[in-house]
Every structure is written in structure tokens, then in C-alpha cells.
Amino acid sequence: MAAKDILIVEDEKMTARLLDYRLKSLGHSVTHIANGVEALEHIHKKLPDVVILDVMLPGMNGFEILENLNEMKDVDLSRLKVIMLTTKNRPDDISRGFNLGAVEYVSKPFKMEEFLLRLNRLISD
């Protein structure tokens, strides 16, 4: 499977480190950002293949990041795959995430193997 450029937007450091470790061991290129505003700037400058996006973030929450991305005319969102990874798992949160363009919604606590399977399926589509 081809290596992908993956951005982890997550303020829980240990979760981000574990994801970073597992994704790098699969050969992907990984960047980790813990702040919503910085994540938006990063995506705007260099569009990754996949964004793993938490909702509760300092600066700007995950939904707001998606709203901002949807408003940006110069960002080709059709190339970007967003996986929400969050403790916010009420039905209206999930539908909000999908409505804003996320292609996967994973609730915390999560099983790493299952998460990686979903990611693999997504990037091999």
C-alpha cells in the first residue's frame, strides 16, 4: 500500500503519540498538531491525504475546522479524507461531522486494530 501523508489533530498527547507510532510503522508520513488554528493553517498550506481529527481542541474545535475548510475556495477538499476521532459521540455530533465532510467517525475509547482497518480501507479506496 502506498505511503500517505497523514495529519493527526489531537490534543491528547499520548493518544497522538500512539497513533503517530503505529502509522509511521506502517510507512506513512505523519505530522501531529495539537491546536485547531495551527491545524487549519497547516492544511491550508499543504493538503495532507488524510486528517485524523479530534473535536475538542484548543483554539478551534474539529467541527469549526471543517466549517472553515468548507469555506476555503482554494482548498481542494475532494482530495482530503477526514476521520473524526472523538469522545463526542451523540447522534447529532456524528451527523454534524458527516455533514461537514468527514468520511469516517470513530468514537473514543477506540480499538486501534479496528481504527487501522478503517483507515486502510479508506486510503485504498
Partner 1 sequence: MTQPLHNWDVVLLTAILSLLIAATLLTILVTLLTRWRIDYVERRKRVLRESIGDLIIQYTSGDLERGEVEEHLTEKIDYIVLLELVNQLEQSLEGAERKRLQELMEVQSTFDHFLNRFETGTPIEKAKACLYYARIRKIDPNHLPVLKALTRSPEPYLCYSAASALMVHGSLALKRDAFATILQNPSISSMAVTDLIVNFTRFGGEYHDAEATILTEFIQKESISAERRSLLIYSLEQLGYIQAMETLYRYYRQLDKQQAPPDLLEALIRVLARFGMAEILPDLYRFFSNSPHAILREAAADAYGLLKAPESIPHLHWLINDPDFHVRHQAALSLATFPGEDLDRVPSLMLDPDEWEELKDEVQPQTKSSP
List contacts with partner 1 (CB under 8 A).
Answer: 12-15, 17-18, 21-22, 25, 108-114
Q: What are phi and psi of 11, to 5 degrees?
A: -95, -5
Least separation in angstroms between residue 74's CB and partner 1 is 33
Cβ proximity to partner 1: between 15 and 31 the closer is 15
Least separation in angstroms between residue 112's CB and partner 1 is 5
Of the candidates 65, 70, 60, 68, the residue with the CA atom closest to the CA atom of residue 35: 60
Strand 5-9 vs strand 50-53: parallel, antiparallel, or unpaired?
Answer: parallel
Rounded distance between C-alpha atoms, residue 59 and residue 54, angstroms: 12
Cβ proximity to partner 1: between 25 and 78 the closer is 25
Cβ proximity to partner 1: between 44 and 121 the closer is 121
